Chain A
Amino acid sequence: MFNKILIANRGEIAVRIIRSCEEIGIQTVAIYSEADRLASHVLKATEAYCVGPAPSSESYLNTEKILSIIKEKEVDAVHPGYGFLSENCDFSQAVKDAGATWIGPSTETITTMGDKMAARELAKSVGAPIIPGTTEPIQNFDDALKQAKEIGFPVLVKAAGGGGGKGMRIVHIESEFADAIDRAKSEAGKAFSDDRVYIEKYLEEPHHIEIQVFADNHGNVVSLGERECSIQRRYQKIIEETPSPFIDKKLRNSLSETAIKITEGCDYSGAGTVEFLVDKHKNFYFLEMNTRLQVEHPITEAVTGIDLVREQILVAAGNKLSFSQNDIQPSGHAIECRIYAEDGFNNFSPSTGKISDMIIPQGLGVRFDDGIRVHQEVTPYYDPLLGKLITWGPTRAIAIQRMIRSLKEFQISGIETSIPFCLMMIKHDTFNNGSYSTHTLNEISDELLNELKIHRSYCILTAGVAAALHSNNSKNKSNSKSKMATSTTWKQRGNEENLR
């Protein structure tokens, strides 16, 4: 087993990894930027070394510095967490060259699955469905129309050069096709100086569903079930749950089988996630594979009882998986809300400042994976994820009730967070019924905004009265102080007069 693991990350995930290391009895090495000297992961680790100034490019991505710490401090394994260097094949190779173990799949696997086209080809080769579409940009209209008919309407016309919805058109019927291509080309040309467009099958009410897989170096591959991640803003997940209220046993098994085939196909090792899009007719398509631990892994832990980080470490150390496919009998339901430092009702704009106060929810079935503490400065340099709130219940209804209760209990002062937004979303009918897709949040955002305003107006009077009383109290305090000061002056004056 390893003696010392370096965690090449910060925030809640670094803290999460340190916790599992501590439980196994492994020493931990934290790295930190100058802005993070007092961050939670530094306070919790056995050793901590500064790797550079605040910007990530000069610190958490400073591979040269990190590698020198690995060598100098006799680190024998590196856990990359998610983000930063976690899917950087050059760094994973350099870690191995430095004589340490990379807690994750091989450099070759990271390289293959990190290349969208190569990953698509690999998925195809093991029989995984991929979203039908053209692989080359459209050259002429007649060919394009022929291909669109083959794919079947509705189709999506998509810019080769970019994203964010620019140069994108949904075409429902053949007669709209020519016009849509013209407009998409013109838009893409203006936005990305590249007017090449592709056609792809348009998925109706798509769900983002992913399968957690685990593989060891002895040929064992296991699926730990799915996570439903369709509540997204700006293509980023904010609320996840397992099991998905949308899929049935048959689809679940098909997704798991496909994910296992892909995992075997790329000679995987450790924890990985295979992402799929599932349309309203329950057709599913391979999207990509994340060759690392996923942000939302705790909901899988909640229903399987398996510590995924511990298992990653054991597998990297050469152990066989501690469970087989038959051992995976998920129990109950788990939901995660991501607590971001951002104003959910002001276009999710990031919020920075000092956390002046914090009350973390507790109680049965509640877990908070935190990377923050009271008085910590939330800086603009890094991802705004402050922590993740996870609730478990024997049924979906109870997990939801616990999440609502926990979000209500949660208070963070000093910065704006996604807590009020998550509360409104969890309470919304679409979530309650489990009838949401990746489009839902956009469709209901105005409605949520209004509900929040109403909700907020309830506490205006209380807030006003409290502030007035507090102001009154502070005034009385300072008055009593100044009275004391005056009397002291009087005394002094008196003493001086006596001396004359």
Chain B
Amino acid sequence: MIFEAIIDEKSINISIKGTAPNFEITCDNKSIDLDCQPLSSHSYSLILNGKSHFLSIHDHPQGYEVTIDQHNNIVTIKDEQQLLLEKFGFSSSENTQTGKVYAQIPGLISQFFVNVGDLVKEGDKLLILEAMKMENEIVSPLSGVVKNINVESGIAVEKGTLIMEIKE
């Protein structure tokens, strides 16, 4: 996976390969030696290039709050999908307030998880939009009822197509 971490307006490109605890990690194309062991659901022991760090991580409106060496760092993480969406000129947080679900990238709707009239919670999976050989899960921006679905499964949609509407 490729991530972009943004801290104090500084950006770091991070690539993670392999499985825990022996990840292969590069930061801004430099390889780093890392052993990461979870201590609880929100704390880790990290040995990074031989240096031992204890840190705790909690959700934050902008991403995560990482407490390390008395400092609370707010880190925004963008994953591959978000980076791709941005490349196409969309912000993944764009539809969060309205119930309108648009195709953020041109692609093929391969599967719907909901029908008209279904109750959905914020974050529930609505459909899969396939693009660039990647399956993108589109989740509900809010909790409510599926008011209408404007397209059928299996068809290709253009960027910006209104796929469905969720009513609070």
In the complex, how many angstroms separate the beta carbon of B20 from the nearest chain A beta carbon? 8
Taking a contact as CB atoms under 8 Å apart, the answer to whether B27 and A461 are in contact is yes
Question: Given A413-B72, A460-B8, A463-B75, do A468 and B57 touch, yes or no (CB 8 Å)?
Answer: no
Question: Given A464-B12, A465-B32, do A471 and B77 touch, yes or no (CB 8 Å)?
Answer: yes
Taking a contact as CB atoms under 8 Å apart, the answer to whether A411 and B16 are in contact is no
Taking a contact as CB atoms under 8 Å apart, the answer to whether B65 and A413 are in contact is yes
Taking a contact as CB atoms under 8 Å apart, the answer to whether A470 and B8 are in contact is no
List the one stretch of A247-255, A379-387, A415-423 in contact with chain B. A415-423
Taking a contact as CB atoms under 8 Å apart, the answer to whether A460 and B10 are in contact is yes
Residues of B13-67 contacting chain A, CB below 8 A? 14, 16, 20, 23, 25, 27, 32, 34, 36, 38, 42-44, 46, 48, 53-58, 63-67
Task: Report the contact-size class of chain B (Cβ under 8 Å from the partner).
Answer: 35 or more
Question: Given A357-B58, A472-B1, do A462 and B68 touch, yes or no (CB 8 Å)?
Answer: yes
Task: Report the contact-size class of chain A (Cβ under 8 Å from the partner).
Answer: 20 to 34
Query: Is B79 located at the chain interface by the 8 A CB criterion?
Result: yes
Taking a contact as CB atoms under 8 Å apart, the answer to whether B58 and A414 are in contact is yes
Query: Is A469 located at the chain interface by the 8 A CB criterion?
Result: yes
Question: Given A411-B67, A456-B71, A471-B3, do A465 and B27 touch, yes or no (CB 8 Å)?
Answer: yes
Query: Is B73 located at the chain interface by the 8 A CB criterion?
Result: yes
- Which residues of A lie under 8 Å from residue B36 when comparing CB positions? 466, 469
Select which of A413, A416, A462 is within 8 A of B56 by beta carbon.
A413
Question: 1/0 per residue B73-99: CB within 8 Å of A?
Answer: 101010100000000000000000000
Query: Is A324 located at the chain interface by the 8 A CB criterion?
Result: no
Taking a contact as CB atoms under 8 Å apart, the answer to whether A416 and B72 are in contact is yes
Query: Is B100 located at the chain interface by the 8 A CB criterion?
Result: no
- Which residues of A lie under 8 Å from residue B73 when comparing CB positions? 456, 459-460, 463
Residues of A96-113 contacting chain B, CB below 8 A? none
Give CA–CA (A467, B7) in the complex, Å: 10
Select which of B12, B23, B43, B57 is within 8 A of A461 by beta carbon.
B12
Select which of B1, B43, B55, B65 is within 8 A of A462 by beta carbon.
B55
Give CA–CA (A456, B27) in the complex, Å: 18
Give CA–CA (A415, B72) in the complex, Å: 8
Question: Given A423-B70, A466-B44, A472-B3, do A411 and B56 touch, yes or no (CB 8 Å)?
Answer: yes
| Chain A to chain B contacts (Cβ below 8 Å), 8 pairs | A357-B67, A411-B54, A419-B70, A458-B69, A459-B68, A460-B7, A460-B73, A464-B5
Leading 9 A-B pairs by shortest Cβ distance: A464-B5, A467-B75, A463-B73, A413-B67, A468-B3, A463-B66, A356-B58, A464-B12, A357-B56
